[in-house]
Structure 1
Amino acid sequence: MTPEIGHFALALAFALALVQSVLPLVGANRGNLLWMHSARTTSIGQFILVGVAFGALMRSFIVSDFTVLNVASNSHSLKPMLYKIAGTWGSHEGSLLLWVLILTLFGAAVSLFGSNIPSSLKARTLAVQAWISVGFLSFMLFTSNPFTRVFPPPTDGNDLNPLLQDVGLALHPPFLYLGYVGFSIVFSFAVAALLEGRVDAAWARWVRPWTLAAWICLTAGIVLGSWWAYYELGWGGWWFWDPVENVSFMPWLLGTALLHSAIVTEKRDAFKSWTILLAILTFSLSLLGTFVVRSGLLTSVHAFAVDPERGLYILALLALSIGGSLALYAWRAPMMEAGGIFKPISREAGLLVNNLILTTATGTVLFGTLYPLFLEAITGDKISVGAPFFNATFVPMMLPLVLFMGVGPFLSWKRADLAGVYQRLKYVALASIIATPIVWYIQKGGPLLAHFSIMLATWLLLATLREWGIRIRLFEAPISETLRRARNLPRASHGMTMAHAGLAIAMLGMIGSSAWKSEEIVFVAPGTTIEIAGFDVTFSGVERVRGPNYLADRGTLAVSRNGQSIDTLRPERRYYPIADSTTTESAIRSTLAGDLYASISEPATENAEQSDAWTLRILYEPLVNFIWLGSSLLIIGGALSLSDRRLRVGAPKRTSASSAPSTQAEKA
């Protein structure tokens, strides 16, 4: 009965979405306050109903109800409870239901917490949000029902993909979808503003917190996925430029540009049409990612390779959403006022350069991701565009951005004094230059680009700390005054400092683990010793162990340095009988200086229990943990900025003259 309740709840949510997509919009056009306020009830109702459906599916997984096809295909009675729950969103249908749940969550959140948003703008925004809900609820009800029954039910399930049975992958999709789908509300705000014909500083203030919330979640989702790939897949890398990785990275790049562009719109009433366009394109790339992973175009551990007919449905939604919003933008954008004027040397100009670099980088990743697909569709030829292309194009493009990030916070609005900026940053520049030969000496050479990148990362870190120090008069005032200034500094300022510093620290980890990584892939028998990065690693053999739903061959590696034992590593090779699949569980000795990483794969003979020789991969990755440390600071910095009270209250008031029509409409 529970699956039927879930299915019925989805049908009711679809009906509410249809009402919400029309009634508030008509109410806003006619000035009918009651119709406009109906969006609050319907958006909250949608969220509750989709939540009921999601809860019904989750219960089916928890109790192993194998009469539900989705459960039978993606779960097993022996699977640990955490992965039974994670199985709720581990399939095409389940992940789509999570997608819609988050979509309705953001609509309900705007209804509940958007009390300072004018009624007409809120009504139009929630109506646009409902348009998206109608598209995805209809897709789920007509082509991807998560509650389809199977009779007779199987005795047991087929199990979830073993690669997805991991804590990192249990958390990765919800955060990624919160980011993906979070940009839908920003898209809805943008389309609503175009329908209303008005974008100003107040609109930008209302949009910023939702943009920031989506950006934080998307950052967390990408980082969790990267961390999972690093320790789970057994190859020791944290980014592979996989097409499905790219389709989550592109909205992040444009979302970062949008975040900075909205600041200019709020502070200086400039970049208005550009901010609207970025909001449309950011969510469009989120929809593109949804299409790519569900269309069968790609085969990836991240992808739901389903039949192409479902992909055509999403493609139609994609065309309507992107095509319709861009057509509306082309019609309305030329009517927007230009906004604030600024000089070529100013903070506005610096943020404009930031936006241009990020959008160009996004275009580069988009080209590298889609070109093989277009080529195969046109000529039938299959090619692979991987790390060499992106490293040669994307990485050099982003290095100037790091340079501008260090300078930007020192620039004034409208017009900046370069001489003053130079005086404040000259010692930062000198320290960054000095750091380069020091790293060269420590690492005994290495790629020239890596040393240049280290210099820029050091520059960004020191410049960020310098700007924060100036704000609180660090070392220039009594400690009591410095602490008072630090306490009174807006949280958004602390958040910006933490996020920029986090990016610099993450860069150090990316550079160190890529440029100076040591790797050995060897065939070992018990007693074999491998020397790597000053460590002696001795292979002691393999034992067979049993897990809840798998069998594992667990290796033992004794790690020593200069004759002294320092650690024991136990990598595993797991076999899941139900899924008939094998995974690699790496063993990692982590320090701030770097990771010693080990994984075992193929035995020398077909019978693993009788084999004494194994294929062993040993890596040493310098500074790799700086990636997770810096990424955590990015997320915390974003959350700190989001907690700034100024983003929740005190939005700029619209001028009475321009708001008069809206006021009269509401009174009508």
Structure 2
Amino acid sequence: MTAELGHFAVWMALVLALLQSVLPLIGAWRGNIALMSTARPLAIMQLLLLTIALIALGYAFYFNDFTLAYVANHSNSALPWGYRLSAIWGGHEGSLLLWVWMLAGWGAAVAWLSKSVPATMVARVLAVMGMIGIGFLSFMLFTSNPFDRLLPWFPLDGADLNPLLQDPGLIVHPPMLYMGYVGFSVAFAFAVAGLLAGRLDPVWARWARPWTTIAWAFLTVGIALGSWWAYYELGWGGWWFWDPVENASLMPWLSGTALIHSLAVAEKRNLFRAWTVLLAILTFSLSLLGTFLVRSGILTSVHAFANDPERGTFILIFLALVAGGSLSLFALRAPKLKNNAGFRLLSRESFLLGNNLLLLTATFVVLLGTLFPLIGDALDVRISISAPYFNKFFVPLTLVLMALLSLGMISNWKSHRGDAFRRRVLPLIPASLVGGLLAAWLPGGTPWLGTLGFIMVAWVVLAHLDDMIRKARASRGSFFAGLWRLSNGYKGMVLAHCGLALLVAGIILVTHHEIERDVRMVPGDTVQVGGYDFAFVDVGPRAGPNYDAMRGEFRVTRNGRAVTTMYPEKRTYRVGGQVMTQVALRPGLIHDLYVALGEPLDMPGAWAVRVYFKPGVRWIWAGALLMSLGGVLAVIDKRYRRRPARDTTAQAVAEGSA
């Protein structure tokens, strides 16, 4: 009965989404306040209904209701209860329910927190989000229903959750990733609402900017968590593989980063309005493209969910409608987006435009590298695009991007005097060279490209420190009081840019100074990696809650002193018989030690063992978290809490009839 309640709640949410997409738009068109005011309660009620549906599916997983096909295919009575609950989004159908629940959550947040936004704009934004909800709710109900029953014949026990997903990373990674994906629907809805209203001014950009930034922050955390999960779960010690599904999350992140900076220009200078709208459309369209790639069955990946071309066709049609409809509306409204305001070559606008072009170029590179092999497969032509293709483009693009972002930060809006600009920049160049060269002077040496990367890292950090010190000194009172008075938006920008520098430093370190050893070992053998001695003590059986494992024991010493004991495992899951590697990690601020137990070899007691020394790898995720924290800090800036003049009924009616 609980499943039927959840199923009914989803159908009712679809009905409310239909009403939400129609009534507020009619109200905005006719200037009818009563119809416009339906948008907020409809959005909140939709969230309540989908929360009931999500709880109902969680109840079915927790109590092992194997009459539901989705539960039977993705759970088992021996599965630990934490993984039983996270299995809600461990497969295609449940992850779609999580998606529409989050979409409703974003809509309810807009309804609840946009009290200072005019009623007509809120009505249009929520109507657009209702249309998106119709698409995804229909997709779930008609092709991917998590509440389908197997009555009267149902299994006594389930098929188990994919062992790759039986990990704490699964509990947090998909929700964070989806919050970013779905959150960009708000930026898209604001763009379409602005086009419908013919209002794309600095006030519009100020409304849209915090929603875009917080969605970007969630996506940043989601991608970092996915990288961390792949690092320790897949057993081969990497953190990014240019897997097509990884690329699917990277593309909207890149275009979303460009969108955030473009919104800044639109808010401050009322420029780049058409460009900003196109970026909002592109970013959400890339989120939908990622959904298509993961769920269409055209990819073979540990990240992919579904293998059903019909579902892929549905999403592709929906993507075409969303992108095609919004671009058509943009074409109709384009003449109204012209702006005669200008800026000089030496200005913040120029550097932000340059950053945008670099980010869009990077997006295009990833898009081509991801889609070309798929197009080749469709034409029976084998096209292989691997990491070297992406690295050859991304490394120089990232270095130039880091150079420009600091220049943009220290320059003025509209124009900057050349002599004043030189006085700011010239002292930073030798300091960055010295800092970068010192960082590159590591045991074993760093190649010239890595050294250039360290110089750019030093350039970004020193430029931002210099700017913060100047601003704090220019403020009244003490230096520390001046630092405290800096706006949250500024602090967030500094934190995000320095987070990028830390991430790049981690990438350089782990790329050029990682040590990997693949060895055959028997108990009693010792291998030295990165100055550490790894002694293979023993290997023996261990029983887990739903698996049996062979557990190795490695004692790690350095210069004769004990460091740690590591316990990698080779697990065999009882239900499906899948064999998985569970690595042993000794994390550290400077470097990680990493041991993976491979396969038993022909020689009695011998095992294949892989040992890594990975310097700076934690800096990658720490940098991503700093970037995300910077986004959150920018969102809580007090300027987003200021209320403009009250949106009276007469004003709303006038805007609606305009």
State if a TM-score over 0.5 links the two structures.
Answer: yes
Q: 1:250 — aligned with what?
A: 251
Q: Per-residue deviation at 1:661?
A: 7.3
Structure 1 residue 73 corresponds to structure 2 residue 77? no
Q: Per-residue deviation at 1:442?
A: 2.2
Q: Which moved more, 1:290-299 or 1:150-159?
A: 150-159
Give 3-state SS (helix, strand or coil) of 2:224's partner: helix
The aligned runs of 1:228-247 (5 Å cut-off) are 228-247=229-248
Give 3-state SS (helix, strand or coil) of 2:323's partner: helix
State how far apart, in whole Å, the 1-side matches of 2:579 and 2:472 are. 55
CA contact (8 A) 1:30 1:665 kept: no
CA contact (8 A) 1:295 1:308 kept: yes
CA contact (8 A) 2:437 2:455 kept: no
State how far apart, in whole Å, the 1-side matches of 2:250 and 2:641 are. 28
State how far apart, in whole Å, the 1-side matches of 2:507 and 2:558 are. 26
State how far apart, in whole Å, the 1-side matches of 2:589 and 2:574 are. 38
Task: State the TM-score, normalizing by the size of structure 1.
Answer: 0.95
State how far apart, in whole Å, the 2-side matches of 1:89 and 1:437 are. 47
C-alpha spacing 1:448/1:666, structure 2 compared with 1 (3 Å): closer
C-alpha spacing 1:197/1:665, structure 2 compared with 1 (3 Å): closer
Q: 2:581 — aligned with what?
A: 584
Structure 1 residue 664 corresponds to structure 2 residue 654? yes
Give 3-state SS (helix, strand or coil) of 2:66's partner: coil
The aligned amino acid for 1:158 is: A
Q: Per-residue deviation at 1:666?
A: 6.3
Structure 1 residue 619 corresponds to structure 2 residue 612? yes
CA contact (8 A) 1:519 1:618 kept: yes
Give 3-state SS (helix, strand or coil) of 2:572's partner: strand
State how far apart, in whole Å, the 1-side matches of 2:650 and 2:466 are. 46
Aligned identity (percent) is 49
Q: 1:602 — aligned with what?
A: 599
State how far apart, in whole Å, the 2-side matches of 1:20 and 1:486 are. 45
Q: Which moved more, 1:550-559 or 1:480-489?
A: 480-489
The aligned amino acid for 2:498 is: A
CA contact (8 A) 2:220 2:625 kept: no
Q: 1:558 — aligned with what?
A: 555
Q: 1:40 — aligned with what?
A: 40
The aligned runs of 1:53-72 (5 Å cut-off) are 53-72=53-72
The aligned runs of 1:173-252 (5 Å cut-off) are 173-252=174-253
C-alpha spacing 1:376/1:477, structure 2 compared with 1 (3 Å): closer
RMSD: 1.9
Q: Per-residue deviation at 1:437?
A: 3.5
Q: Per-residue deviation at 1:427?
A: 3.2
The runs of 5 or more residues in structure 2 that have no matched partner are none
The aligned amino acid for 1:575 is: T
State how far apart, in whole Å, the 2-side matches of 1:510 and 1:280 are. 31
The runs of 5 or more residues in structure 1 that have no matched partner are none
CA-to-partner distance for each residue in 1:400-433, whole Å, 9 max, x for gaps? 0000112111100110123323323333321221
CA contact (8 A) 1:295 1:307 kept: yes
Q: 1:303 — aligned with what?
A: 304
Q: Per-residue deviation at 1:565?
A: 2.1
Aligned residues: 657
CA-to-partner distance for each residue in 1:224-281, whole Å, 9 max, x for gaps? 0001111111111110000000000010001111001001100001111111110000
Structure 1 residue 637 corresponds to structure 2 residue 630? yes
Q: Per-residue deviation at 1:21?
A: 1.1
Q: Per-residue deviation at 1:662?
A: 4.8
Give 3-state SS (helix, strand or coil) of 2:623's partner: helix
CA contact (8 A) 1:268 1:339 kept: no
Q: 1:142 — aligned with what?
A: 142
CA contact (8 A) 1:28 1:120 kept: yes
Q: 1:382 — aligned with what?
A: 382
Q: 2:571 — aligned with what?
A: 574
Q: 1:13 — aligned with what?
A: 13
Q: 1:286 — aligned with what?
A: 287
Q: Per-residue deviation at 1:107?
A: 0.9
Q: Per-residue deviation at 1:448?
A: 1.6
CA contact (8 A) 2:444 2:513 kept: no
C-alpha spacing 1:542/1:466, structure 2 compared with 1 (3 Å): same
Q: Per-residue deviation at 1:477?
A: 9.0
The aligned runs of 1:236-635 (5 Å cut-off) are 236-338=237-339, 340-378=341-379, 380-473=380-473, 481-605=478-602, 612-635=605-628
CA contact (8 A) 2:594 2:613 kept: yes
Task: State the TM-score, normalizing by the size of structure 2.
Answer: 0.97
Q: Which moved more, 1:337-346 or 1:138-147?
A: 337-346
Q: Per-residue deviation at 1:50?
A: 1.1
CA contact (8 A) 1:202 1:651 kept: no
CA-to-partner distance for each residue in 1:59-81, whole Å, 9 max, x for gaps? 11111111111111001111111
CA contact (8 A) 2:24 2:123 kept: yes
Give 3-state SS (helix, strand or coil) of 1:443's partner: coil
State how far apart, in whole Å, the 2-side matches of 1:590 and 1:172 are. 20
Q: Which runs of 4+ in 1 moved over 3 A?
A: 650-654, 659-663, 665-668
CA-to-partner distance for each residue in 1:472-505, whole Å, 9 max, x for gaps? 12xx999x61121122211111111111111111
Structure 1 residue 86 corresponds to structure 2 residue 86? yes
Q: Per-residue deviation at 1:382?
A: 2.9
C-alpha spacing 1:550/1:204, structure 2 compared with 1 (3 Å): same
State how far apart, in whole Å, the 2-side matches of 1:102 and 1:417 are. 47
Q: Which moved more, 1:181-190 or 1:487-496?
A: 487-496
CA-to-partner distance for each residue in 1:101-157, whole Å, 9 max, x for gaps? 011111111111111111111111111111111111111111111100113221111
C-alpha spacing 1:545/1:258, structure 2 compared with 1 (3 Å): same
State how far apart, in whole Å, the 2-side matches of 1:502 and 1:418 are. 29
State how far apart, in whole Å, the 2-side matches of 1:49 and 1:640 are. 32
Q: 2:119 — aligned with what?
A: 119
State how far apart, in whole Å, the 1-side matches of 2:532 and 2:255 are. 43
State how far apart, in whole Å, the 2-side matches of 1:372 and 1:105 are. 36
Q: Per-residue deviation at 1:651?
A: 5.5
Give 3-state SS (helix, strand or coil) of 2:199's partner: coil
CA-to-partner distance for each residue in 1:16-54, whole Å, 9 max, x for gaps? 111111111111111111111111121111111111111
State how far apart, in whole Å, the 2-side matches of 1:440 and 1:49 are. 56
State how far apart, in whole Å, the 1-side matches of 2:215 and 2:340 are. 27
Q: Which moved more, 1:525-534 or 1:249-258?
A: 525-534
Q: Per-residue deviation at 1:296?
A: 0.2
State how far apart, in whole Å, the 2-side matches of 1:300 and 1:198 are. 43
C-alpha spacing 1:439/1:665, structure 2 compared with 1 (3 Å): closer
State how far apart, in whole Å, the 2-side matches of 1:10 and 1:146 are. 10
C-alpha spacing 1:427/1:398, structure 2 compared with 1 (3 Å): same
CA contact (8 A) 2:124 2:193 kept: yes
